[in-house]
Amino acid sequence: MQLTNIHKITGRIELVSGLHIGGSDAEMHIGGTDNPVIKNPITKQPYIPGSSLKGKMRSLLEWRAGLIGLTKGAGPVGFGDIKALPADRQPAAKTILKLFGGAPQGAPDESLLREIGPTRLAFWDCNLDPAWAEEMAERNLLLTEHKTENMIDRIQGVAKHPRSTERVPAGARFDFQLTLKVHDGEDLLDELLVGLRLLELTGLGGSGSRGYGKLRFSTLMLADTDLLARLNAITLD
């Protein structure tokens, strides 16, 4: 197996609805939020962790491939699951392992390890678009918003247990990039684009069923090649 290319894919993610990817807060302040977003410890700006993108994309592709429930545990498909899968599901599982990697389980199958090879995808954290952050500063606007939600007592008709959640607001833009290693001239770009399209259709972060985390790619480039039309043309029939 020979490394023949490394594709660098760059783009911009634009939020269609508020995004919450949880962080931690060592201190609780009166009147503050009890559910903050993750922020860069130096700049204090919110960002999208590469691990969040990787985990959500992998999960979505495994659901689409019909692998959830066929593997031995609640975790992602692994090398030890391949032989136990139906024959028609094995190619998709192998493609996912090529893209996202996986630790060998039990006694390693050397032939399978050679077939899959090293992990192809490397995700980067997505920082705020500097131009958007500057625009917010010029307008004296914050980079995040606080959304208070209540549980309603349906008998008494009163709100109970208010919870304040911090979100990055709709309209925020993040710089996106990842790399895709190519071995022996293989082409895994189509599967990667399907994963990105699934992200657009399902969202990212917490509380997606309540409208959080809707996003879209406003630009997507592979070197000088525009991938956006190709991404938008993907259907999941």
| C-alpha span between 13 and 171 (Å, rounded) | 10
Residue 191 lies in a domain: no
Model confidence pLDDT, tens digit, residues 109-139? 888 888 898 999 999 999 999 999 999 999 9
The whole-number pLDDT of residue 175 equals 97
Strands 145-153, 225-226: pairing is: unpaired
Q: What is the band of 31 on the pLDDT scale with cuts at 50, 70, 90?
A: very low
* Residue (of 116, 120, 121, 91) closest to 105 by Cα position: 116
Residue 129 lies in a domain: no
Q: Write down the pTM of the prediction.
A: 0.85
More confident residue, 212 or 221: 221
Task: Residue count of the chain, please give it.
Answer: 237
Cα distance between residue 137 and residue 219, in whole Å: 24
For residue 73, pLDDT beyond 80? no
Long-range Cβ pairs for the range 167-171 (8 Å, 24+): 167/18, 167/19, 167/20, 167/37, 167/212, 168/15, 168/18, 168/19, 168/20, 168/37, 168/46, 168/143, 168/144, 169/15, 169/18, 169/144, 169/145, 170/15, 170/16, 170/17, 170/18, 171/14, 171/15, 171/132
Q: Is residue 188 part of a domain?
A: no
User: Residue 90's pLDDT is what?
Assistant: 92
Query: What proportion of the chain, given as a percentage, has pLDDT over 70?
Result: 86
Q: Is residue 100 part of a domain?
A: yes
Total of domains in the chain: 1
Domain for residue 72, yes or no?
Answer: yes
Classify residue 86: in a domain, yes or no.
yes
In the chain, where does DSSP find H-type helix?
A: 50-64, 90-100, 110-116, 130-138, 189-202, 228-232
**What's the whole-number mean pLDDT along residues 208-224?**
90
Domain containing 61 equals: 50-118
Specify the 3-state DSSP secondary structure of 201. helix
pLDDT at residue 79 in the model: 87
Residue 237 included in any domain? no
Q: Contact 88/65 with Cβ under 8 angstroms?
A: no
CA nearest neighbour of 86 among 108, 64, 71, 96: 71
89 pLDDT band, cuts 50/70/90, is very high
- The answer to whether residue 196 sits within a structural domain is no
Residue 55 has pLDDT above 60, yes or no: yes
CA 78 to chain centre: 19
